[in-house]
A = this chain, B = another copy of it.
Amino acid sequence: MNETIEGILSHYSVRDFTDQALTENEIALLVKSAQAASTSSFVQAYSIIGVSDKKLREELSVIAGRQDYVVKTGQFFVFVADLSRHYEIGKARGVDTESLSSVERFLVATVDATLAAQNMAIAAESMGLGICYIGGIRNNLAKVSDLLHIPDYATPLFGLTIGHPTTSSEPKPRLSTDIVYHENQYQPQNMEDFKKYDATIRDYYEARTGGKRVEGWTDQIERGLRHTTRQDIKAFLASKNLGIK
């Protein structure tokens, strides 16, 4: 096993950073790593906003549910699915830009942005930094979009906080491979298949919380289903001319 795969396999999310800012060189290397990712038909349909401004970070942190590690971190990045450059090009060339509002184009931009983000995450971890994705900015995309001046045909997707960790941890056990990986055709699953994994996750939480948290994976998923959030995303995207048809 090589160094890169060792790094990938030892990933865990970090939620406690020093307030040491990333250097300009570190940020440049992270952005360059992000940009090296594959991009669908070379459209490069994403942008990255680096939020260094403390007041802005605090506003984003409130939106994300008061996550301190959005404010106290090395740098906070927001990944943007971005078709606005393509819109500008179409407009300048007199080409119909209606197709930019399709779900296909939104998917392309979302996948492009996510490939770039994961490159950045892996690069950061290889530098000894810690990372955590912040889906919480989707609690209020309209506000985030306003704060960062995101144009039409573009939307923030998630944050990525990167910094010098104050704590270390270990990887959280994933679903067993035969549940996630299928040969040639999808193998449907039922509750019976999740039982062993439920026990693994219960043990994992119990050991980490000194017995305070006792919850299996299916319990976590059930809780998520009961707690319905972010039902306004479709309308917000439409207001940006994204994902309409």
Interface residues, chain A, CB within 8 Å of chain B? 1-5, 7-11, 13, 28-29, 31-33, 35-38, 40-44, 46-53, 56, 80, 84-86, 88-90, 92-93, 95-97, 99-100, 102-104, 107-108, 110-111, 114-115, 117-119, 121-123, 126-127, 131-133, 135, 138, 147-151, 154, 157-158, 171-172, 174-175, 177, 179-186, 188-191, 194, 217-218, 220-222, 224-226, 228-231, 233-234, 237, 243, 245
CB proximity of A134 to chain B, nearest CB, Å: 10
- Bound CA–CA A21/B230 (angstroms): 43
Tell me whether B148 and A186 are in contact (CB under 8 A): yes
Tell me whether B225 and A48 are in contact (CB under 8 A): no
Tell me whether A46 and B103 are in contact (CB under 8 A): no
A186's nearest neighbour on chain B, judged by CB, is: B149
A51's nearest neighbour on chain B, judged by CB, is: B184
A85's nearest neighbour on chain B, judged by CB, is: B189
Instruction: Please give, as numbers and ranges, the residues of chain B lying within 8 Å of A180 by CB-CB distance.
Output: 31, 35, 44, 46-48
Which of the residues B51, B138, B234 comes within 8 Å of A245, measured between beta carbons? B234
Tell me whether A177 and B225 are in contact (CB under 8 A): no
Tell me whether B3 and A4 are in contact (CB under 8 A): yes
Instruction: Please give, as numbers and ranges, the residues of chain B lying within 8 Å of A231 by CB-CB distance.
Output: 99, 102, 104, 245
Tell me whether A37 and B230 are in contact (CB under 8 A): no
9 further contact pairs, Cβ within 8 A, besides A48-B182, A96-B225? A38-B132, A48-B180, A85-B179, A93-B222, A99-B228, A102-B230, A104-B138, A114-B114, A115-B121
Which of the residues B8, B93, B158 comes within 8 Å of A123, measured between beta carbons? B8
Which of the residues B31, B135, B243 comes within 8 Å of A103, measured between beta carbons? B243
A125's nearest neighbour on chain B, judged by CB, is: B4
CB proximity of A157 to chain B, nearest CB, Å: 7
A81's nearest neighbour on chain B, judged by CB, is: B107
CB proximity of A63 to chain B, nearest CB, Å: 15
